[in-house]
Amino acid sequence: MHTMRNTARWAATLGLTAATVCGSLTGSALAAPAAAPTSLYAPSALVLTVGHGESAATADAARAVTLNCAPAPSGTHPAAALACAELRAAGGDLDVLAGPGGAMCTKQYDPVVVTVDGVWRGKRVSFERAFANECVKNAAASSLFAF
């Protein structure tokens, strides 16, 4: 008899818990699922890689960093805030940011290739640029590629 009382209590507790969590059949159980939350900011998340070689197809990635620009700069990029500011100023045009900087570099040919893949302000981005050597890459007009 003691076991039957415990079983009855257990069943009652389980029934109340289910009713609380699930609601009644005419209530929330039949309600439409909640819409996915939307962000105030268009997604801006990029993965940047650098490797030795003339193209991404033949080069193994030596380093990779992440860069998130919305809602606030973050990621493993060493200068995330500056890189995001430069991307915004260039309207997301990676060709502008990969342009030549003012540093003097040797003419040694030891090619490095940089790739940028991800999303910038809600639009898919895929970019690849080969530089003659590491110095030329780091001397680019933007800090985006200096990682």
CB within 8 A of 74, min separation 6: which ones? 68, 80
Structural domains in the chain (count) = 1
pLDDT of residue 27: 44
Question: Is 117 contained in some domain?
Answer: yes
pTM of the model: 0.69
Low-confidence ranges of the chain (pLDDT < 50): 1-30, 32, 34-37
pLDDT of residue 38: 56
pLDDT of residue 24: 44
pLDDT of residue 40: 65
pLDDT of residue 115: 96
Domain extent for 49: 45-145
Question: Is 23 contained in some domain?
Answer: no
Give the integer Cα–Cα distance in Å for 3 and 92: 70
pLDDT of residue 39: 57
List residues bridging with 129 in a β-sheet: 114
Give the integer Cα–Cα distance in Å for 144 and 137: 10
